[in-house]
Amino acid sequence: LLASTLTYDSLRFGEIEDFPETSEPVWILGQQFSALTEKDEILADVTSRLWFTYRKNFQPIGGTGPTSDTGWGCMLRCGQMILGQALICRHLGRDWRWSPGQRQRAEYINILNAFIDKKDSYYSIHQIAQMGVGEGKSIGQWYGPNTVAQVLKKLAVFDSWSRLAVHVAMDNTVVIEEISEFSFLTALWKPLVLLIPLRLGLSDINEAYIEPLKQCFMMPQSLGVIGGKPNSAHYFIGFVGDELIYLDPHTTQPAVDPNEDEQFPDDSYHCQHPPCRMHICELDPSIAAGFFCQTEDDFDDWCAQIRKVPKP
Protein backbone atom coordinates (compact mmCIF):
# COMPACT_ATOMS: atom_id res chain seq x y z
CA LEU A 1 0.00 0.00 0.00
CA LEU A 2 3.02 2.30 0.34
CA ALA A 3 2.98 2.75 -3.41
CA SER A 4 -0.68 3.69 -3.40
CA THR A 5 -1.78 7.14 -4.33
CA LEU A 6 -3.68 8.68 -1.44
CA THR A 7 -7.23 8.94 -2.70
CA TYR A 8 -10.07 9.85 -0.38
CA ASP A 9 -10.76 6.17 0.24
CA SER A 10 -7.24 4.93 0.90
CA LEU A 11 -7.07 7.40 3.78
CA ARG A 12 -9.70 5.31 5.50
CA PHE A 13 -7.46 2.24 5.78
CA GLY A 14 -6.40 3.27 9.27
CA GLU A 15 -10.03 3.47 10.32
CA ILE A 16 -11.10 -0.02 9.17
CA GLU A 17 -12.35 -1.93 12.18
CA ASP A 18 -11.61 -5.55 12.92
CA PHE A 19 -14.49 -7.96 12.63
CA PRO A 20 -17.14 -7.47 15.33
CA GLU A 21 -17.27 -9.88 18.26
CA THR A 22 -20.72 -11.26 17.56
CA SER A 23 -22.50 -14.58 17.76
CA GLU A 24 -24.33 -13.78 14.51
CA PRO A 25 -23.08 -15.87 11.58
CA VAL A 26 -20.77 -14.33 8.99
CA TRP A 27 -21.73 -15.29 5.43
CA ILE A 28 -19.21 -14.87 2.60
CA LEU A 29 -20.06 -16.07 -0.91
CA GLY A 30 -22.10 -19.05 0.24
CA GLN A 31 -19.92 -20.07 3.18
CA GLN A 32 -20.78 -19.58 6.85
CA PHE A 33 -18.25 -18.59 9.51
CA SER A 34 -18.24 -17.73 13.20
CA ALA A 35 -16.83 -14.31 14.07
CA LEU A 36 -15.98 -15.66 17.53
CA THR A 37 -13.98 -18.76 16.59
CA GLU A 38 -13.08 -18.44 12.88
CA LYS A 39 -11.71 -14.93 12.49
CA ASP A 40 -8.50 -16.16 10.82
CA GLU A 41 -10.53 -18.27 8.41
CA ILE A 42 -12.73 -15.27 7.55
CA LEU A 43 -9.72 -13.08 6.77
CA ALA A 44 -8.04 -15.86 4.76
CA ASP A 45 -11.20 -16.24 2.69
CA VAL A 46 -11.55 -12.50 2.08
CA THR A 47 -7.85 -12.12 1.24
CA SER A 48 -8.16 -14.92 -1.34
CA ARG A 49 -10.69 -12.97 -3.39
CA LEU A 50 -9.24 -11.01 -6.30
CA TRP A 51 -9.13 -7.31 -5.40
CA PHE A 52 -9.11 -5.03 -8.44
CA THR A 53 -8.57 -1.35 -7.75
CA TYR A 54 -7.85 1.82 -9.66
CA ARG A 55 -4.45 1.64 -11.38
CA LYS A 56 -2.16 4.24 -12.92
CA ASN A 57 0.59 4.28 -15.56
CA PHE A 58 -0.87 1.54 -17.77
CA GLN A 59 -0.84 1.61 -21.58
CA PRO A 60 -3.17 4.34 -22.92
CA ILE A 61 -6.64 2.93 -23.53
CA GLY A 62 -7.28 2.89 -27.27
CA GLY A 63 -3.70 4.02 -27.91
CA THR A 64 -4.31 7.67 -27.02
CA GLY A 65 -6.78 7.47 -24.12
CA PRO A 66 -6.37 7.53 -20.32
CA THR A 67 -3.44 5.84 -18.55
CA SER A 68 -5.33 5.65 -15.24
CA ASP A 69 -8.93 4.84 -14.29
CA THR A 70 -8.90 6.80 -11.03
CA GLY A 71 -12.21 8.57 -10.56
CA TRP A 72 -14.19 6.70 -13.23
CA GLY A 73 -13.30 3.00 -13.26
CA CYS A 74 -14.70 1.78 -9.93
CA MET A 75 -17.70 -0.09 -11.37
CA LEU A 76 -15.49 -1.57 -14.10
CA ARG A 77 -13.16 -2.84 -11.36
CA CYS A 78 -16.15 -4.27 -9.47
CA GLY A 79 -17.16 -6.07 -12.66
CA GLN A 80 -13.65 -7.51 -12.84
CA MET A 81 -13.93 -8.69 -9.22
CA ILE A 82 -17.25 -10.50 -9.66
CA LEU A 83 -16.05 -12.16 -12.87
CA GLY A 84 -12.68 -12.93 -11.26
CA GLN A 85 -14.54 -14.82 -8.55
CA ALA A 86 -16.39 -16.78 -11.25
CA LEU A 87 -13.06 -17.75 -12.86
CA ILE A 88 -11.66 -18.84 -9.48
CA CYS A 89 -14.71 -21.06 -8.94
CA ARG A 90 -14.42 -22.35 -12.51
CA HIS A 91 -10.71 -23.25 -12.47
CA LEU A 92 -9.65 -23.51 -8.80
CA GLY A 93 -12.85 -24.10 -6.81
CA ARG A 94 -14.62 -22.03 -4.14
CA ASP A 95 -12.39 -23.47 -1.38
CA TRP A 96 -9.11 -22.39 -3.00
CA ARG A 97 -6.97 -20.09 -0.83
CA TRP A 98 -4.23 -17.69 -1.86
CA SER A 99 -0.81 -18.18 -0.26
CA PRO A 100 1.30 -14.99 -0.38
CA GLY A 101 4.92 -15.28 -1.38
CA GLN A 102 4.61 -18.77 -2.85
CA ARG A 103 4.80 -19.89 -6.45
CA GLN A 104 1.20 -19.96 -7.57
CA ARG A 105 -0.71 -22.54 -9.60
CA ALA A 106 -0.74 -22.07 -13.38
CA GLU A 107 -4.53 -21.71 -13.40
CA TYR A 108 -4.30 -18.82 -10.95
CA ILE A 109 -1.67 -17.05 -13.06
CA ASN A 110 -3.88 -17.51 -16.14
CA ILE A 111 -6.83 -15.98 -14.30
CA LEU A 112 -4.82 -12.98 -13.14
CA ASN A 113 -3.37 -12.49 -16.63
CA ALA A 114 -6.92 -12.21 -17.98
CA PHE A 115 -7.35 -8.97 -15.98
CA ILE A 116 -3.92 -7.35 -16.33
CA ASP A 117 -4.13 -3.72 -17.49
CA LYS A 118 -3.09 -4.40 -21.09
CA LYS A 119 -5.12 -4.14 -24.26
CA ASP A 120 -4.88 -7.84 -25.15
CA SER A 121 -6.03 -9.27 -21.79
CA TYR A 122 -9.54 -10.76 -22.00
CA TYR A 123 -11.08 -8.66 -19.23
CA SER A 124 -8.64 -5.75 -18.89
CA ILE A 125 -9.80 -2.21 -18.13
CA HIS A 126 -8.89 -1.53 -21.78
CA GLN A 127 -11.24 -4.21 -23.12
CA ILE A 128 -14.10 -3.27 -20.79
CA ALA A 129 -13.80 0.45 -21.55
CA GLN A 130 -13.61 -0.07 -25.31
CA MET A 131 -16.43 -2.64 -25.40
CA GLY A 132 -18.54 -0.18 -23.42
CA VAL A 133 -18.51 2.21 -26.38
CA GLY A 134 -20.97 -0.19 -28.04
CA GLU A 135 -23.20 0.19 -24.97
CA GLY A 136 -23.25 3.96 -25.40
CA LYS A 137 -20.50 4.72 -22.87
CA SER A 138 -17.52 6.79 -23.93
CA ILE A 139 -14.09 5.83 -22.57
CA GLY A 140 -13.69 7.36 -19.12
CA GLN A 141 -17.43 7.48 -18.45
CA TRP A 142 -18.88 5.86 -15.31
CA TYR A 143 -20.81 2.59 -15.73
CA GLY A 144 -23.86 1.30 -13.89
CA PRO A 145 -24.17 -2.39 -12.87
CA ASN A 146 -26.25 -3.30 -15.94
CA THR A 147 -23.73 -1.82 -18.40
CA VAL A 148 -20.79 -3.68 -16.90
CA ALA A 149 -22.82 -6.93 -16.91
CA GLN A 150 -23.59 -6.53 -20.61
CA VAL A 151 -19.94 -5.78 -21.43
CA LEU A 152 -18.67 -8.82 -19.49
CA LYS A 153 -21.14 -11.00 -21.38
CA LYS A 154 -19.69 -9.78 -24.70
CA LEU A 155 -16.06 -10.19 -23.61
CA ALA A 156 -16.55 -13.73 -22.25
CA VAL A 157 -17.24 -14.96 -25.79
CA PHE A 158 -13.55 -14.48 -26.61
CA ASP A 159 -12.28 -16.39 -23.55
CA SER A 160 -11.80 -19.83 -25.10
CA TRP A 161 -9.93 -21.10 -22.02
CA SER A 162 -12.77 -20.60 -19.56
CA ARG A 163 -15.64 -21.37 -21.98
CA LEU A 164 -18.20 -19.57 -19.86
CA ALA A 165 -21.83 -18.93 -20.70
CA VAL A 166 -22.59 -15.47 -19.32
CA HIS A 167 -26.31 -14.76 -19.06
CA VAL A 168 -27.63 -11.34 -18.11
CA ALA A 169 -31.21 -11.55 -16.83
CA MET A 170 -33.29 -8.55 -17.83
CA ASP A 171 -36.43 -7.06 -16.26
CA ASN A 172 -35.62 -8.70 -12.90
CA THR A 173 -36.46 -12.08 -14.44
CA VAL A 174 -34.44 -15.25 -15.04
CA VAL A 175 -36.09 -17.19 -17.86
CA ILE A 176 -35.03 -20.75 -17.07
CA GLU A 177 -36.01 -21.94 -20.54
CA GLU A 178 -33.54 -19.51 -22.18
CA ILE A 179 -30.64 -21.02 -20.26
CA SER A 180 -31.81 -24.63 -20.62
CA GLU A 181 -32.54 -24.16 -24.33
CA PHE A 182 -29.03 -22.82 -24.98
CA SER A 183 -27.59 -25.87 -23.23
CA PHE A 184 -29.88 -28.19 -25.22
CA LEU A 185 -29.01 -26.58 -28.58
CA THR A 186 -25.26 -26.87 -27.97
CA ALA A 187 -25.65 -30.36 -26.44
CA LEU A 188 -23.12 -29.24 -23.86
CA TRP A 189 -23.48 -27.47 -20.53
CA LYS A 190 -21.10 -24.53 -20.27
CA PRO A 191 -20.27 -23.25 -16.78
CA LEU A 192 -22.82 -20.51 -16.22
CA VAL A 193 -22.26 -17.00 -14.90
CA LEU A 194 -25.66 -15.53 -14.14
CA LEU A 195 -25.76 -11.75 -13.68
CA ILE A 196 -29.05 -10.25 -12.54
CA PRO A 197 -29.32 -6.43 -12.62
CA LEU A 198 -31.90 -5.35 -10.02
CA ARG A 199 -33.40 -2.18 -8.65
CA LEU A 200 -34.29 -2.64 -4.98
CA GLY A 201 -36.01 0.71 -4.46
CA LEU A 202 -36.13 4.24 -5.84
CA SER A 203 -33.48 6.30 -4.04
CA ASP A 204 -32.95 3.97 -1.07
CA ILE A 205 -33.19 0.21 -0.67
CA ASN A 206 -36.72 -0.93 0.14
CA GLU A 207 -36.56 -2.81 3.47
CA ALA A 208 -38.67 -5.59 1.98
CA TYR A 209 -35.63 -6.61 -0.12
CA ILE A 210 -33.15 -6.87 2.76
CA GLU A 211 -33.78 -10.51 3.74
CA PRO A 212 -33.97 -11.80 0.13
CA LEU A 213 -30.67 -9.98 -0.58
CA LYS A 214 -29.03 -11.64 2.42
CA GLN A 215 -30.21 -15.03 1.19
CA CYS A 216 -28.39 -14.46 -2.09
CA PHE A 217 -25.08 -14.36 -0.17
CA MET A 218 -25.99 -17.63 1.57
CA MET A 219 -26.34 -19.65 -1.62
CA PRO A 220 -23.34 -21.83 -2.55
CA GLN A 221 -23.54 -20.44 -6.10
CA SER A 222 -23.11 -16.84 -4.88
CA LEU A 223 -20.64 -14.58 -6.69
CA GLY A 224 -21.69 -11.60 -4.59
CA VAL A 225 -23.17 -8.30 -5.66
CA ILE A 226 -21.82 -5.23 -7.45
CA GLY A 227 -23.46 -1.92 -6.84
CA GLY A 228 -23.17 1.66 -5.86
CA LYS A 229 -23.59 5.12 -7.21
CA PRO A 230 -21.16 7.23 -9.31
CA ASN A 231 -17.68 7.23 -7.79
CA SER A 232 -18.63 4.80 -5.04
CA ALA A 233 -19.17 1.34 -6.53
CA HIS A 234 -18.26 -1.64 -4.34
CA TYR A 235 -18.03 -5.43 -4.60
CA PHE A 236 -20.19 -6.92 -1.85
CA ILE A 237 -19.16 -10.44 -0.83
CA GLY A 238 -21.28 -11.16 2.25
CA PHE A 239 -22.86 -9.90 5.44
CA VAL A 240 -22.85 -10.13 9.22
CA GLY A 241 -25.99 -9.01 11.02
CA ASP A 242 -27.26 -5.97 9.14
CA GLU A 243 -23.84 -5.02 7.77
CA LEU A 244 -22.66 -5.84 4.25
CA ILE A 245 -19.04 -6.93 3.79
CA TYR A 246 -17.35 -5.50 0.71
CA LEU A 247 -14.11 -4.92 -1.19
CA ASP A 248 -13.45 -1.30 -2.15
CA PRO A 249 -11.76 -0.47 -5.48
CA HIS A 250 -11.04 3.18 -4.58
CA THR A 251 -7.29 2.92 -4.07
CA THR A 252 -4.90 3.87 -6.88
CA GLN A 253 -2.00 1.46 -7.31
CA PRO A 254 0.69 1.33 -10.01
CA ALA A 255 -0.01 -0.97 -12.96
CA VAL A 256 1.78 -4.34 -12.76
CA ASP A 257 3.64 -6.00 -15.63
CA PRO A 258 4.23 -9.78 -15.65
CA ASN A 259 7.83 -10.91 -16.18
CA GLU A 260 8.90 -13.36 -18.90
CA ASP A 261 7.60 -16.52 -17.19
CA GLU A 262 4.34 -14.69 -16.43
CA GLN A 263 4.98 -14.73 -12.70
CA PHE A 264 4.56 -11.31 -11.14
CA PRO A 265 4.13 -9.69 -7.75
CA ASP A 266 0.48 -10.33 -6.95
CA ASP A 267 0.20 -8.96 -3.40
CA SER A 268 -1.57 -5.86 -4.68
CA TYR A 269 -4.37 -8.02 -6.11
CA HIS A 270 -5.43 -9.24 -2.67
CA CYS A 271 -6.90 -7.11 0.12
CA GLN A 272 -4.82 -7.96 3.18
CA HIS A 273 -6.64 -5.95 5.80
CA PRO A 274 -10.08 -6.61 7.33
CA PRO A 275 -12.75 -5.92 4.71
CA CYS A 276 -14.95 -2.84 4.77
CA ARG A 277 -18.49 -2.97 6.14
CA MET A 278 -21.56 -0.78 5.69
CA HIS A 279 -25.10 -0.95 7.00
CA ILE A 280 -27.33 -2.65 4.46
CA CYS A 281 -29.69 0.35 4.43
CA GLU A 282 -26.85 2.47 2.96
CA LEU A 283 -26.73 0.29 -0.16
CA ASP A 284 -27.63 2.09 -3.36
CA PRO A 285 -30.71 0.30 -4.77
CA SER A 286 -29.15 -0.24 -8.22
CA ILE A 287 -27.20 -3.52 -8.08
CA ALA A 288 -26.34 -6.65 -10.04
CA ALA A 289 -26.27 -10.01 -8.23
CA GLY A 290 -24.03 -12.76 -9.57
CA PHE A 291 -24.18 -16.55 -9.38
CA PHE A 292 -21.96 -19.32 -10.76
CA CYS A 293 -23.24 -22.76 -11.76
CA GLN A 294 -20.43 -25.10 -12.75
CA THR A 295 -22.87 -27.87 -13.70
CA GLU A 296 -26.49 -28.14 -14.74
CA ASP A 297 -27.20 -29.72 -11.34
CA ASP A 298 -25.83 -26.55 -9.71
CA PHE A 299 -28.25 -24.51 -11.82
CA ASP A 300 -31.22 -26.76 -10.92
CA ASP A 301 -30.25 -26.42 -7.26
CA TRP A 302 -30.05 -22.62 -7.61
CA CYS A 303 -33.52 -22.54 -9.21
CA ALA A 304 -34.92 -24.58 -6.30
CA GLN A 305 -33.34 -22.24 -3.75
CA ILE A 306 -34.55 -19.08 -5.50
CA ARG A 307 -38.11 -20.40 -5.48
CA LYS A 308 -37.90 -20.68 -1.68
CA VAL A 309 -36.77 -17.08 -1.18
CA PRO A 310 -39.74 -15.16 0.28
CA LYS A 311 -41.16 -12.66 -2.17
CA PRO A 312 -41.03 -9.02 -0.91
Chunked into runs of 10 residues, the chain (312 residues) has average pLDDT values of 38 55 94 94 96 97 94 96 98 95 90 95 97 93 93 97 94 78 71 95 92 97 88 93 95 85 81 91 94 95 91 74
Return the pLDDT at 179. 81
158: left (phi over 0), alpha (psi -120 to 50) or beta: alpha
Give the catalytic positions in this structure: 74, 248, 250
- The length of the chain is 312
Query: CA 161 → CA 85, 107, 262, 285, distances in Å?
Result: 16, 10, 17, 34
> In what helix (H) or strand (E) does residue 33 lie, and over which residues does it extend?
strand 31-34
For residue 93, list its beta bridge partners. Answer: none
3-state helix, strand, coil in the chain (%, to 5): 35, 20, 45
> Helices 145-156 and 74-91, interaxial angle, to 10°?
40
- Quick one: DSSP state of residue 266? -
Return the pLDDT at 67. 96
Return the pLDDT at 259. 67
Instruction: Assess contact for 54 and 7: CB atoms under 8 A.
Output: yes
Return the pLDDT at 263. 63
